[in-house]
Amino acid sequence: MKRKVLITRGVFPEIVEALAQRFEVEHNPEDRPLPPEELARRLEGKHGAMATVMDRFDEPLLARSPELRVISNIAVGYNNIDIAACSKRGIRVTNTPGVLDDTTADLTWALLMAAARRVAEADAYVRAGEWKVAFGVRYFLGQDVYHATLGIIGMGRIGQAIARRAAGFDMRVLYNNRNRLAEADERRLGAVYVERDRLFAESDFVVVMAPYSAATHHLVGAAEIAKMKPTAILVNTARGGVVDDAALVYALKHKRIAGAGLDVFEGEPALDRGYLELPNVVLTPHIGSASAATRMTMCRLAADNLTAVLEGRTPPNLVNA
């Protein structure tokens, strides 16, 4: 008898077809996350779930899905899943690391540059028909990126991909990470390890690339923002909750820092409405890894992970060994 799998969100048809050759697949084809009760109901009797970071797998949900053997996240992050509860129940959790590093680094740079050079603001100005004088010496003055100091908090694979790109702009790169990199890696990346306070104080651009956990909750809050230069720009493409949104809205509103580029938010998609009124922040809807090629690769990897567990093999990307 075929094992049963739930795909919680709209994915590419070829992924559904491939899984359907091996498993009995139920697929929510929509881009709408399943409400918790619907997710619980649709998970009943399933052996595997292919899920996104918007699907919360906690103990009460797992208790209603005793047959579940694997949760395959289509994401590198897995803060949506209670890993300890899964391990206790023998549920394997997998993710998709490695395949989205460069795509996410690219979007981080897109936000950094858009905020530095006020691209979204200038675009809105042109579209609104406000561009009446052809050239203004003082139009949309922004910050230079080249030769500036970039501070990266979280120097894992994506942080390192962000650092590599800084070489093209002749930037000085500072970083802070739970563990300091090997000397050879620091040399290769041209990155200098510093304490967090110094990173905030000396960086023109602060990029947050730390995973969300209780330890990183509001890692960047009012106190940290107060240490930044008034000309500095903050970029978060990691996770909502790592930055304190209320503190950042306040700082941007009162020009405590110059700007921000944000792809992730606390409680997304219901972001702090304060952001919407601010011209000095560039907002994108959690699209860090959203290139066509990378999202397809992530889905393929998630399908491989799920298949491996349900066929009794070790999956390529096991989170809870």
User: Active-site residues: which are they?
Assistant: 239, 268, 286
Residue from 81, 100, 145, 171 in contact with ligand DGY (CB under 6 A): 100
Give yes or no for residue 317 binding ligand DGY (CB under 6 A).
no
How near is the Cβ of 100 to ligand DGY at its closest, in Å?
6
Three-class DSSP category at 151: strand
CB of 77 to ligand DGY, least distance (A): 3
Q: Is 77 in the site for ligand DGY (CB under 6 A)?
A: yes
**Options 35-43, 73-81, 110-118, 310-318: segment touching ligand DGY (CB under 6 A):** 73-81
Please tell me whether residue 142 binds ligand DGY under the rule CB under 6 A. no
Nearest distance in Å: CB 135, ligand DGY: 40
Where does this chain touch ligand DGY (CB under 6 A) — which range of 69-77, 82-90, 112-120, 267-275?
Answer: 69-77
**What's the Cα-to-Cα distance from 47 to each of 65, 69, 87, 95, 314, rounded to whole Å?**
8, 5, 15, 17, 16
Q: Does 10 bind ligand DGY (CB under 6 A)?
A: no
Single residue of 6, 39, 75, 248 touching ligand DGY by CB under 6 A = 75
Rule CB under 6 A: say whether 76 interacts with ligand DGY.
yes
Q: Outline where 53-154 has alpha helix (H).
A: 59-63, 83-88, 101-116, 119-127
Is position 288 an interface residue for ligand DGY (rule: CB under 6 A)?
Answer: yes
- Closest distance between ligand DGY and the C-beta of residue 243, in Å? 14
Instruction: Compare residues 118 and 239 and give the one whose CB is closer to ligand DGY.
Output: 239
**With binding defined as CB under 6 A, does residue 158 bind ligand DGY?**
no
Position 53 contacts ligand DGY (CB under 6 A): yes
CA angle 205, 207, 211 (to 5 degrees): 170
Phi, psi of 55 (to 5 degrees): -95, 115
CB atoms inside a 10 Å sphere around CB 106? 18
Q: Enter the tokens of residue 252.
A: 């941007």
Which CB atom, from 29 or from 285, has the smaller least distance to ligand DGY? Answer: 285
DSSP 227: T
Q: Is 153 left (phi over 0), alpha (psi -120 to 50) or beta?
A: beta
274 sits near ligand DGY (criterion: CB under 6 A): no
- CA–CA–CA angle 68, 56, 283 (5° rounding): 140
Task: State the Cα–Cα distance between residues 2 and 122, nearest whole angstrom.
Answer: 55
Closest Cα partner for 61 from 73, 74, 49? 49
Binding of residue 221 to ligand DGY (CB under 6 A): no
* Closest to ligand DGY by CB, 65 or 289: 289
Dig out the tokens for 150 from the structure: 């970039």
- Based on its alpha-carbon atoms, the radius of gyration of the chain, rounded to whole angstroms, reads 21
Q: Residues near 171 by Cβ (< 8 Å), separated by ≥ 6?
A: 145, 146, 147, 148, 149, 150
Minimum distance from residue 97 beta carbon to ligand DGY (Å)? 8
Binding interface with ligand DGY (CB under 6 A): 53, 75-77, 100, 288-289
